[in-house]
Amino acid sequence: MRSILPVVLALVVAGLIIVVMGSNPLDFYAGVWKYGLTGNNWQDSLRLMAPLMIIALGLIVAFRGQLWNLGYNGTFLLGSVVASGLGPNLFPVLPGWLVTAIIILGSLLVGALWSVVPAVLKARFGTNEIITSLVMSFIAIGVVNLLIKGPVHDPNPRVTAPQTATIARENLLPFIDGTRVHIGFVVAIVLALVAQFIVSRTSFGVRLDVFGASPKAAQHVGISRSWMIILLFCTSGALIALAGSIDVLGNVTYQRANWNPGYGDAVMPFVFLARLSPLAAIPLVAFYSVFANGGINAARSVGLNSDFLLVVVGLILVFMTITEFVGEKRRLGQGYLPAGMKQSVMALFGPRAAAPVKVTTPAPDKVTTSSSPTTTTTSTPGKVTT
C-alpha cells in the first residue's frame, strides 16, 4: 500500500494542477493510455523500459549497501558514448556479434573504472560519496561532450552538428519476433531476476544486507568494508553504463553533445517505492515507462510542456516521503507531529486545548509561621521544634 499510495496521490494532485492550468486532466490521462499502450505504442514503452530497468538495478545495488551513487547521469553517458563511438567504426570491419560484445564489455569496464574513484575515496578516507560521485558525473559529462565534438564526431563533412555517426539499422540489437522490442528488454528482465535471486537466496545477499544495516557490524563478522564498498560501487557503475550502451544499440543509434535523457533522476523514486527489491521494481518501472512514453504526446495534446512529467515525478517523491514518515510514526506508536508543533496546532482550536499541564512537586520541608511575631513553628519529618 505504501508503494502505491504516493503514485496515486501524485496523479491526483497533478490532475488538480492541470485543471488550474486550464486543461482537462481526464484528456491528459486518456492520452497517456492512448500513446503509451494502445496500438503498437506498448512496444515503444517496453523499449524505453530496457535502459530504465538496468539503471534501477544499478541504483538498487548501491543503495542496498547504503552507498549513495548519484553519478548515474555521467556514467550513463559514458556507456552511451562507448556504443556511439565504437559502433560506427567497428561494425563495417568486424562481425556484428563481436562488435556488440566488445561494446557491451567495454561499457561495463568503463562504468566500473569510472566508479573506482568515489569508491576508493569512500573506503580509504571516508569521503562523502554523494559529493565525489556528483563531481565524477560532471567530469564524465564534459569528457563525453569533448569526445563527441572531437575524436568520435561524425566524419561526414556535411554533418556540422556535434554528433556521432549513425549506427546502421542492421547492426542494432535484434528485435523480438513480430515486434519492435529489442532483446535489451529481455536482458533487463533477466538481470532483474538474477539480482533478485542473488539478494534473497545467496550468502552474498545476506552479507549485503548486513553491510547495509551496519558496516561496523559487518566488519566484526568478517565482511571487508573496503572491498564491499568498491565492489558495490563498481557493480552499480557497470550496470548504469551498460544501460547507456543498450539504449544506443537498441533505440537511439547515435549520440549528440549535451544529450542527457535524465533516466536516473526519473527512475529513482520508483527504486525506493520498490523497497530496493529488483523484482518489485519491474512493475513500477514498467508503469513509468508507459507514463513517460505516452505522457510526452499527451502533454502536448492538452497544451502542456513535456517537462510536466518531471513535476509528476517530483510529486511522487514528496508523497513518498510523507507516506514513509507517517507509516514509521504509526509503526512506533508515536504522534505525527513534534511536541512543540502539536501544542501550536492545538492552540488554534482554543486555549483549553493548548493549556499546558502544570506539575507541582511537594516540598520536603514545611515551614509554618504563626500570626504572632514572637513564635515560629517548623515541622520536619520525625521531629517537632517549637
DSSP three-state, residue 338 = coil
Q: CB within 8 A of 39, min separation 6: which ones?
A: none
Buried b / exposed e across 331-365, counting CB within 10 Å, b at 16+?
Answer: eeeeeeeeeeeeeeeeeeeeeeeeeeeeeeeeeee
Q: What is the pLDDT of residue 363?
A: 55
| 307 pLDDT tier (thresholds 50, 70, 90) | confident
Q: What is the pLDDT of residues 142-174, one digit of tens each?
A: 999 999 999 999 999 898 899 999 999 999 999
Residue 368 has pLDDT above 80, yes or no: no
Strand order in the sheet with 383-385: 366-369, 376-380, 383-385
- Span 171-191, average pLDDT: 94
Q: What is the pLDDT of residue 365?
A: 54
Name 62's bridge partners: none
Q: What is the pLDDT of residue 334?
A: 58
Grid coordinates representing 374 are 514572637
**How far are the Cα atoms of 87, 155, 188, 254 from residue 158, in angstroms, in the given order?**
20, 9, 37, 16
Residue 295 has pLDDT above 70, yes or no: yes
Name 366's bridge partners: 379
- Span 105-115, average pLDDT: 97
Residue 128 has pLDDT above 50, yes or no: yes
Grid coordinates representing 28 are 491528459
DSSP 241-310: HHHHHHHIIIII-S-BTT----HHHHHHHHHHHTTT-HHHHHHHHHHHHHHHHHHHHHHHHTT--TTHHH
Domain spans, the chain: 53-280
pLDDT: is 181 or 358 the higher one?
Answer: 181
**Mean pLDDT of the chain, nearest integer:** 87
Q: What is the pLDDT of residue 261?
A: 93
Q: What are phi and psi of 353, to 5 degrees?
A: -65, -30
pLDDT: is 358 or 27 the higher one?
Answer: 27
